[in-house]
Amino acid sequence: MGQNAADAEQSAHLRKRIRSWQRAALPGSGTGTAHGKVILLGEHAVVYGAPALALPVPSLGCRARVACRFPGEGRVVGFRMVQLPPGVPSGPFLPPPHITEGPIPEGLHMVVSALLRRAELQVLPGVDILLESGVPPARGLGSSAACARAVTHALDDLLGLQLSSEAVFECVQSSETAVHGQASGIDALATGSRRPVLLAGGHVSTPAVGADGWIVVVDSGSGASTKEAVAMLRDSFAAHPGSRERFLDHSTALTLAGLRSMAGGRLAELGRRLTDCHQLLAGLGLTTERTDSLVDAALTGGALGAKMSGGGLGGCVIALAATEPEADALAALLLREHGVRCWTTRLVREAEHAGT
């Protein structure tokens, strides 16, 4: 055997040994979860540092499963996304899930590359990703952040990185910035929190909630990307000097008033701030005929307040109810008369916390 052949055989042998070591060292697969969110007050203004309040929607779940593939050299060798009918388990009489197979979205690709680099492996595996999401996309429910968060946790599990909550946030936020262009971080935070999230000037805390309440989340049936809505507003502010400051002042006043009402358990007052916030966002062209009419229908149906939520230009409307039976009755009415999908999430009474 010549020297070259001997070297090739030795390096092949070495690669094989490293591969088996990698297989033994890595658990082979990892799982991660996250969930949807709604914005109660302060969307868009939060992009410019003003306060905003978000609420998790745990019933809209997202799960990622990742597996190592050898050889892979750090590439995403497989990506499948299963969009589940939200809030319900799959079954024979339900619409089939929508399955996307193919290239991984850019934001998620960044997450995979960053975490593989962080793992400092001698031989990089390929990564196969299966995402199962019950968070409807383009409805202002935090779908992109929930997917990025679930993939981050799954890779953390796979690679044994033991990421801190700050490192997880950084990963999700870098993906969000790639997807939205300009992202405040509130979606990245709320899709991993079990409590309401207050983000103000880059500072995160858990606001006080003085009374239990219920939020009905109503899908308007159409939506646009948050990137589009954020860019539309940025262009409009640039074209109308002073409009940005007026919007931020008004939004801040509403959010702070809403926080005081929520802390004091005055839900009717909080509801009025939600409706005021809808009017403010409507004045900027962020609502549609459909979201405006769903807000009217919710208010006529007895909601304490109602508004668009998230990026807007379609998406979801949220409505506040004081009790679970009231929320159920509201959801039933909206479903019967407007044919919309509804989910509910809770506002749980609790004291203020410094962090989430």
Q: How far is the CB of 54 from ligand MEV (least distance, A)?
A: 8
Q: Does 67 bind ligand MEV (CB under 6 A)?
A: no
125-144 residues in contact with ligand MEV (CB under 6 A) are 140
Which tokens hold the place of 322? 């004081």
Smaller CB distance to ligand MEV: residue 135 or 154?
A: 135
Q: Is 231 within 8 Å of 351 (Cβ atoms)?
A: no
* Residue-wise DSSP of 239-308: HSTTHHHHHHHHHHHHHHHHHHHHHTT-HHHHHHHHHHHHHHHHHTT---HHHHHHHHHHHHTT-SEEEE
Question: Residue from 133, 144, 191, 226 that binds ligand MEV (CB under 6 A)?
Answer: 226
Applying CB under 6 A, the span of 40-48, 64-72, 274-282, 330-338 interacting with ligand MEV comes to: 40-48
Q: Does 43 bind ligand MEV (CB under 6 A)?
A: yes
Q: Could you tell me which of 310, 333, 313, 311 has the C-alpha nearest to residue 321? A: 333
Query: Which residue's CB comes closest to ligand MEV?
Result: 184
Q: Could you tell me which of 213, 197, 163, 136 has the C-alpha nearest to residue 352? A: 197
Applying CB under 6 A, the span of 42-50, 77-85, 207-215, 316-324 interacting with ligand MEV comes to: 42-50
Smaller CB distance to ligand MEV: residue 50 or 298?
A: 50
Question: Residue from 36, 125, 213, 311 that binds ligand MEV (CB under 6 A)?
Answer: 311
Residues sharing a CB contact under 8 Å with residue 39, sequence separation 6 or more, in sequence order: 52, 53, 54, 55, 140, 186, 309, 310
Residues sharing a CB contact under 8 Å with residue 318, sequence separation 6 or more, in sequence order: 38, 40, 215, 216, 217, 218, 274, 306, 307, 309
Smaller CB distance to ligand MEV: residue 66 or 308?
A: 308
Question: Residue from 26, 47, 158, 172 that binds ligand MEV (CB under 6 A)?
Answer: 47
143-172 residues in contact with ligand MEV (CB under 6 A) are none
Q: How far is the CB of 104 from ligand MEV (least distance, A)?
A: 22
Question: Residue from 57, 129, 183, 248 that binds ligand MEV (CB under 6 A)?
Answer: 183
The Cβ of residue 84 has, within 10 Å, a number of other Cβ atoms equal to: 22
Q: Does 39 bind ligand MEV (CB under 6 A)?
A: yes
Smaller CB distance to ligand MEV: residue 139 or 272?
A: 139
Neighbouring-strand partners of residue 309: 316
H helices within the chain, ranges in order? 3-25, 106-119, 143-159, 165-180, 186-190, 226-239, 243-263, 267-283, 289-300, 324-338
Cα–Cα distance between 281 and 283 in angstroms, integer?
5
Question: Residue from 46, 159, 216, 318 that binds ligand MEV (CB under 6 A)?
Answer: 46
Q: Does 315 bind ligand MEV (CB under 6 A)?
A: no
Q: Does 248 bind ligand MEV (CB under 6 A)?
A: no
Question: Residue from 152, 174, 175, 184 that binds ligand MEV (CB under 6 A)?
Answer: 184
Binding site for ligand MEV (CB under 6 A): 39, 43-44, 46-47, 140, 180, 183-184, 186-187, 226, 230, 310-311
